[in-house]
Amino acid sequence: MPKLNITHLPQRLKERLEKLERGEEVDKKDIKALLDDEQIERMEQAWSKQQALRKIHKPPKTSEEANKIGWKTIREVRIEIYKQAIEEAEGGLLDGIRKLKADSEVKAAKVFMDAWSGAVKDGKPSLSAQSAGNIALTRAGLRQGEVIASKRDKEVWAMEDALRKQFESEMTKEEKEQLALLKEHEKASQKK
């Protein structure tokens, strides 16, 4: 089973919280599965305080009396901890996603460099070694390097688009028909 990461955690916590609020029975191991060590420790401390309170006071007869002395059931303690865990998980979501992205990039670089350096050691030319690295990335299920456009690249692409539009507006009727046929041909060949 895949390991839970920060992107899955808030939703799973909310689902478990809804079960607790509905009063459904949830195993203790399932309660602890989504919490980190600090949150589990807080839950155990809160419950030990409730147990100490139970030794001092008799069970309250009304909810007002229970609120007054701070009496909570184990389910209420768990719900309170889960609400805090959801807030923490949602608060750390951006940092968690950044960490996942950085980890993925490091893993991709390691996979690529291992394959590339192995190919270079085998005496393959530079382009073949690069292809070996890209193949290793594909096998590992990682994306190959994306083109990161600089400011100059964006400006050049914008100028090319403007020139293309200008040339198309200045075309004759026959040239426009030829261009339309060429675009249709390119679409058809991409489908194949």
26-58 per-position pLDDT tens digit: 888 888 888 888 988 998 898 888 888 888 878
State the pLDDT at residue 114. Answer: 92
Whether the per-residue pLDDT at 138 is higher than 80: the answer is: yes
Q: What is the mean pLDDT of residues 69-82?
A: 85
In percent, the amount of the chain with pLDDT more than 90 equals 7
The overall average pLDDT reported for the chain is 84
How would residue 146 be classed by pLDDT, with cut points 50, 70 and 90?
Answer: low
State the pLDDT at residue 121. Answer: 92
- Distance set, CA 161 to CA 69, 73, 171 (Å): 72, 67, 16
Q: What is the mean pLDDT of residues 151-169?
A: 88
**Which segments of 122-144 does DSSP mark as H helices, in order?**
126-139
Whether the per-residue pLDDT at 77 is higher than 80: the answer is: yes
How would residue 144 be classed by pLDDT, with cut points 50, 70 and 90?
Answer: low
Its pTM stands at 0.55
DSSP of the chain: -PPP-TTTHHHHHHHHHHHHHHT----HHHHHHTS-HHHHHHHHHHHHHHHHHHHHSPPPSSHHHHHHHT---HHHHHHHHHHHHHHHHHHTHHHHHHHHHHHHHHHHHHHHHHHHHHHHHTT--HHHHHHHHHHHHHHTT-PPPPPPP-HHHHHHHHHHHHHHHHHHHT--HHHHHHHHHHHHHHHHHHH-
